[in-house]
Amino acid sequence: MRLTLRQRQVLWAYAFLSVALVFFVIIRWYPALLSFNIAMRDWNTFKGSGPWVGLENYAAIWDDMWKPRSDVRAAFTNTLGYVLYGVPAQMVLALAVALLLDRIRVLSTLFRVAYFAPYVTSAVAVAFVWNWLYLPQTGLLAQVFDILRIPEQPFTKSPDQALASIAAVAVWQTLGYSVIIYLAGIKQIPATYYEAARIDGAAGVRLFRHITLPLLNPVIVYLTVLSTISFLRLFALVQNMSPQGTGGPLKSTTTVVLEVYRKGFSSYDMGYAAALTVVLFFVILLITVIQLRFLTRRFEY
């Protein structure tokens, strides 16, 4: 049976798409589904599958959440802190930078590459550089503060500043992606809208408020959801910037994903760790649904 050109094109399309599908099924979907099974068992990292314990791992997480100094409670509290610090800062800064880059005509590509470069840089490398920048006395920031007569700051060495310091690095690293997406959205806004508004006497802030911001609604919702998920899953920067990678000092920077890693590969309690991942999955799902529901309506026009 001879296939038509159209049938052959469709067949080849599915053949190439199947590669990505197999990758996601084996690398992403299967481990994710397996975690639901592991969460219901007393699973040891070295011994493997243990007896079925039902919801005992979830009950243990619930009990730990109410203990004032528990690692799990600190992990969820800090993760929420990263979201509250990072998402608004990234959204506002990225939009401001995108608006400025949209006005640049000379060397615009160079500036865009400069902002995007940290996003494609390894988190380990980023953490190494910023650990040096944050070093007391010998770090670059310490030297700048000394020149400006500003008191030396402990940054990641202080429980009061460590979380905000790491959140600032996370914003810096991921800012470029948001800038590029914002720029793409801004470029899609027809210039005729601005021309008509200027004829009616609008300018400056009014143009931004009544044209740019509403028409960027899909971009804002998309980036807000993506940024929130990114900060909820923060791991590499925390592990490489906190003392001994434990989420210190005094549990001030630990996250849920770091706690999953510690429970699974330090305490070898993979059942508890898998239950944490399931809880985090539903937290992310709930927050995403809420954001899609309310942010979309908030910017309707």
Q: What is the mean pLDDT of the chain?
A: 90
Would you say residue 237 lies in a domain? yes
How many folded domains does the chain comprise? 1
Would you say residue 16 lies in a domain? no
What is the residue range of 100's domain? 69-295
| Cβ-Cβ contacts under 8 Å for 34 (sequence gap 6 or more) | none
The answer to whether 205 and 192 are in contact (CB under 8 A) is: no
Would you say residue 151 lies in a domain? yes
Confidence of residue 299 (pLDDT cuts 50, 70, 90): very low
Single-letter residue type at 229:
I
Q: What sections of 30-161 are H helices per DSSP? A: 30-38, 56-65, 71-103, 108-116, 123-133, 140-147
Would you say residue 222 lies in a domain? yes
Would you say residue 27 lies in a domain? no
DSSP three-state, residue 269? strand
Buried b (16+ CB within 10 A) or exposed e, 98-125: beebeeeeeeeeeebeebeebbeeebee
Would you say residue 224 lies in a domain? yes
What percent of the chain shows pLDDT beyond 90? 59
Confidence of residue 10 (pLDDT cuts 50, 70, 90): confident
pLDDT above 70 (res 296): yes
Count CB neighbours of 295 within 10 A. Answer: 15
For 175-198, what is each residue's pLDDT tens digit?
A: 999 999 999 999 999 888 888 888
What value does the mean pLDDT take over residues 263-282? 92
The answer to whether 39 and 274 are in contact (CB under 8 A) is: yes
Which CATH number characterizes residue 118's domain? Answer: 1.10.3720.10
Would you say residue 196 lies in a domain? yes
pTM of the predicted model as reported, rounded to 2 decimal places: 0.89
pLDDT above 80 (res 3): no
